[in-house]
Amino acid sequence: MDKKVYLISGGSSGIGLTIVNDLVSAGHGVVSISRSESKIARALREMPHLEGKAEFITSNISSEPDLSAVYRHILDKYGVVHGLVNNAGILTKGTIETISTDDWRYTLDVNLTGPYILTRAMLPLLKKADGASIVNISSVAGLKPGTSVAYSVSKAGLDMLTRFLAGDLGPYNIRVNSVNPGLVRTPIHLDNRVVEDRDAYEAMLEKARPRYPIGRIGNPGDISGLVVFLLSDKASWITGSIITADGGVMVENDLIPPK
Ligand SMILES: NC(=O)c1ccc[n+]([C@@H]2O[C@H](COP(=O)([O-])OP(=O)(O)OC[C@H]3O[C@@H](n4cnc5c(N)ncnc54)[C@H](OP(=O)(O)O)[C@@H]3O)[C@@H](O)[C@H]2O)c1
């Protein structure tokens, strides 16, 4: 594969960090944007070989001034973006009766408006690639109501953004696809305090596991392989697709008790 330049939002943790690692291993230039220095430091403790190999920039995908600065930086340093992974996301919990308006707005702001304004900010650089690929990291919770109304609605909106942009950006030879993971072991639940502690997290995973026909919860590598494929020219006729990577949880048969 030729050396390309990829921008990953939320590359300092979980699924995004594994995507960064896999792209660096394949010899590509990788820029990650995320908010906190502490998660970048944690990522580099976990994967010290990435130091100096991937660029970890602090930037908030909900802030247009931040994204303008990222645009100028990439324009000056690389001049092009071959692929964008809208991976950064947050998790909130609650139903219409329990979630605050602030948490609802925050979820939509990061998970839906963030990918929208980040994609728009990077369009001039993506157009220069002649064959760019955008991958939106959505969720099975966007396809079926989950446990958080704001999170499910944000991801359903992201899937429609995928389909809409596939139509709008196809004429520029820019492909846009969603990857919708099932439950994947990452720091997201603990970092966003949707479970109290590690014991509660492990209990949540154990409770969920029987609903996965493959018999295990996902790991970030289960998602990254598909993302790297969609970024590559091997996927050059795939656009507007909503693709689950979920250990089969979406085919759960509610009529038969789990084995
Ligand atoms: N893990 C799962 O079970 C699962 C299942 C389905 C879908 N997903 C989706 O997969 C994606 C990655 O999730 P993950 O589990 O890997 O989460 P994670 O480990 O919590 O990582 C999230 C990343 O996004 C960054 N981020 C959050 N808000 C941001 C903002 N406003 N601007 C820039 N960066 C931001 C975080 O860094 P900072 O906080 O420092 O900004 C972090 O680098 C998310 O979109 C999530 O919804 C996850």
For residue 13, what is the domain's CATH number? 3.40.50.720
Residue 109 belongs to what domain range?
Answer: 5-186+221-244
Residue 151 lies in a domain: yes
Average pLDDT, the chain: 96
- 65: Cβ contacts below 8 Å, ≥ 6 apart: none
Ligand 1, residues 9, 12, 15, 143: which to mutate, most atoms within 8 A of Cβ? Answer: 15
Query: So what's the pLDDT on residue 258?
Result: 57
Spans in the chain with pLDDT lower than 70: 1, 252-259
- In short, whether 137's Cβ falls inside 6 Å of ligand 1 is yes
Give which of 189, 257, 254 is closest to 217, Cα–Cα.
Answer: 189
Residue 63 lies in a domain: yes
- Cα 62 to ligand 1 centroid, rounded to whole Å: 13
Residue 50 lies in a domain: yes
Query: So what's the pLDDT on residue 254?
Result: 67
Do residues 158 and 178 make contact, with C-beta atoms less than 8 angstroms apart?
Answer: yes
Residue 182 lies in a domain: yes
- In short, whether 82's Cβ falls inside 6 Å of ligand 1 is no
Residue 199 lies in a domain: no
Query: So what's the pLDDT on residue 169?
Result: 98
Q: How many domains does the chain have?
A: 1
Using the structure block, give the residue that is written with the tokens 């998790």: 91
Neighbours of 217 (CB within 10 A): 18
Question: At residue 134, what is the residue type?
Answer: I
Residue 210 lies in a domain: no
Residue 250 lies in a domain: no
Residue 178 lies in a domain: yes
Is 106 catalytic? The answer is no
Give which of 213, 135, 148 is closest to 180, Cα–Cα.
Answer: 135
- Cα 199 to ligand 1 centroid, rounded to whole Å: 21
At 39-82, the pLDDT tens digits run 999 999 999 999 999 999 999 999 999 999 999 999 999 999 99
pTM of the model: 0.97
- In short, whether 10's Cβ falls inside 6 Å of ligand 1 is yes
Among protein residues, the one whose CA lies closest to atom 45 of ligand 1? 89
